[in-house]
């Protein structure tokens, strides 16, 4: 389950940014409102006798659009970074502590937000944190408090999003995950809560079909898992690229929502 901040968690004015939804700073969230909303959700799930394997708190919070404490248009300053660390840390702490209360889901795993890996070399002003895995590592000591492991909870895995260009494939996967490992170490697994392609055009420049491209990426993850603890791999998303410009099915599902033969690559990996 993925938990993010919502408009109703705030008692300050929110403004709409160019992506079409309200910009929300985690440093300004009303944690009592957030805890009340999350508590009602967890109570409803328990009443429905539903289980939770894991909760990922936040989504791509190293980017401005998901946590507006990230500067929009300039590199983060020391003070801005501290504000971000405190904002996300307190959000994580409030959610994780509530989740693990005996009345809710004390056995559910806790995962940090999926790192977006913004592009530092791309043109235009930055809208993301540089070296985001290093920033996540800083959560181990914010004003003397460890938001990764403390008396109330322990983070079970680091969330990360791995997107590669079709022509780069497995090399791109390795390069991104290597950045995360260098910063965060190997003491807990990396949950790849999103993976996919930056520009899903197949055949790619190497002449690979979509099936072959998917297999190359999966092989890269399997190779990395021999040296790095890797958690679940969640492909994003099955219904992307339903059809091409002519209306012809071109992705993992057809126009009727059924799986195409290409999806067999992922089904075979899941069966293992």
pLDDT digits (tens, 9 = 90+) for 135-159: 999 999 999 999 999 999 999 999 9
- For residue range 23-33, what is the model confidence (pLDDT) as tens digits? 999 999 999 99
Report the Cα 76 to chain-centroid distance in Å: 21
Per-residue model confidence (pLDDT) at position 96: 98
Taking only the tens place, the pLDDT of each residue in 81-106 is 999 999 999 999 999 999 999 999 99
218-247 tens-digit pLDDT? 999 999 999 999 999 999 887 665 454 455
pTM for the model: 0.94
Per DSSP bridges, beta strands 230-235 and 2-3 are: unpaired
B/e letters for 140-155, b = 16+ CB within 10 Å, e = fewer, are eebeeeebbeeeebeb
Distance CA 162, CA 191 (A): 10
Q: Which residues pair with residue 243 across a beta bridge?
A: 249
Q: What tens digit of pLDDT does each residue of 121-130 get?
A: 888 899 999 9
pLDDT at position 248 over 80 = no
Pairing of strands 54-59, 230-235: unpaired
Percentage with pLDDT > 70 across the chain: 96
Q: Please give the pLDDT value at position 255.
A: 72
Residue 60: name the closest of 136, 138, 174, 166 by CA.
136
pLDDT band at 56 (very low <50, low <70, confident <90, very high): very high
């Amino acid at each position: 389950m993925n938990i993010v901040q919502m408009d109703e968690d705030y008692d300050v004015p929110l403004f709409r940014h160019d992506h079409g939804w309200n910009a929300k700073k985690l440093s300004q969230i009303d944690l009592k409102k957030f805890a009340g909303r999350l508590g009602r959700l967890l109570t409803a799930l328990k009443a429905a006798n539903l289980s939770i394997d894991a909760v990922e708190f936040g989504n791509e919070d190293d980017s401005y659009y998901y946590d507006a404490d990230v500067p929009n248009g300039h590199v983060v300053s020391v003070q801005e970074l501290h504000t971000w660390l405190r904002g996300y840390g307190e959000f994580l702490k409030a959610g994780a502590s509530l989740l693990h209360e005996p009345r809710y889901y004390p056995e559910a795993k806790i995962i940090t937000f999926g790192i977006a890996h913004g592009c530092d070399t791309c043109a235009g002003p930055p809208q993301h944190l540089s070296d985001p895995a290093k920033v996540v590592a800083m959560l181990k000591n914010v004003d003397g408090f460890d938001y990764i492991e403390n008396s109330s909870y322990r983070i079970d895995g680091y969330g990360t999003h791995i997107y590669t260009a079709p022509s780069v494939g497995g090399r791109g996967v390795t390069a991104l995950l290597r950045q995360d490992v260098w910063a965060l170490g190997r003491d807990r697994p990396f949950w790849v809560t999103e993976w996919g392609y930056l520009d899903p055009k197949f055949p790619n420049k190497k002449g690979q079909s979509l099936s072959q491209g998917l297999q190359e990426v999966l092989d890269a993850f399997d190779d990395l898992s021999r040296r790095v603890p890797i958690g679940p791999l969640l492909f994003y998303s099955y219904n992307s690229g339903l059809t091409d410009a002519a209306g012809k099915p071109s992705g993992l599902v057809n126009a009727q929502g059924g799986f195409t033969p290409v999806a067999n690559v992922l089904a075979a990996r899941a069966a293992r």
